[in-house]
Amino acid sequence: MTTNTVTAKTVESFKSGLGGARFAQLFAILEENGLRPLGKSNTGTLLFQAIDNDGTAHDVLAFRREPVSVLSFPKSYWLSRKELRSSLCGAFEPNEQPTAIPGVGSNSNESAGQVAINKNTLERVKELCVEVCNRVISTHG
């Protein structure tokens, strides 16, 4: 993990408290597959980035705890990959894909969609993370 203080504090805040073990499992999958966490000091968002061979960072996934725990698909990466994102979310019911709420957490304009992280979705979210890593690493690794 990076030594960035903001990132380290953000990762720890997600791993502690209610639902912390779920986040820890998801973060381990992403980091084991080469994605790098990046905490934002002005939001409660934790990004996971893929780094190209030329050093370019791509915001691939984001996590938020408020108002509910979600895995989010940053528009900067997923807007041009709408079909892939839809396919990845196919295992989730509509009620497990909450819409972003403007003014809460990250701006809804920054998300191309999200899935809830809870005890009922955790295994499917873990599978989604593995699949995202398989697709992203083959593209950017």
Tell me which of 1.10.12, 3.30.450, 3.90.1150, 1.10.3470 is the CATH number of domain 5-140.
3.90.1150
Average pLDDT over residues 30-50: 91
Return the domain boundaries, the chain.
5-140
Structure tokens that stand for 56 in this block: 């370019």
Contacts of 61 (CB under 8 A, 6+ apart): 30, 35, 47, 48, 71, 72, 73, 74, 129, 132
Statement: residue 107 has pLDDT above 50:
no
| Residue 32 · residue 38 · CB < 8 Å | no
The confidence score (pLDDT) of residue 41 equals 76
* Predicted model pTM: 0.87
Structure-block tokens of residue 8: 């380290």
